[in-house]
Amino acid sequence: NSVQHLGCDEQLFRRVVKATFNQRRKMLRVSLRQLLPTLSPKLADHPFMTQRPEQLTIAQFVELTNLVADELSNET
């Protein structure tokens, strides 16, 4: 049973996964600084930010990617 669509921007999904696993021993709030130099209070306080990448499921990575996409769209 393969998934055709993740429900998020797939290129951004790859960037988020790569950024977090490149620093797999760090919490997500640290490794996401590559993509988002400053986190909004909403994202900074999100429970994901104190976790490490291996603790998230694929569905949670999709959710995280959508949160990052919202942050990136709010920057412009």
For the segment 25-61, what is each residue's pLDDT rounded down to a tens digit? 999 999 999 999 999 999 999 999 999 999 999 999 9
Residues 6 or more apart whose CB falls under 8 angstroms from that of 76 comprise none
Q: What is the rounded distance in angstroms from the CA atom of residue 16 to the CA atom of residue 27?
A: 13
Residue 76 has pLDDT above 80, yes or no: no
Q: What is the rounded distance in angstroms from the CA atom of residue 21 to the CA atom of residue 1?
A: 26
Per the prediction, the chain carries an average pLDDT of 92
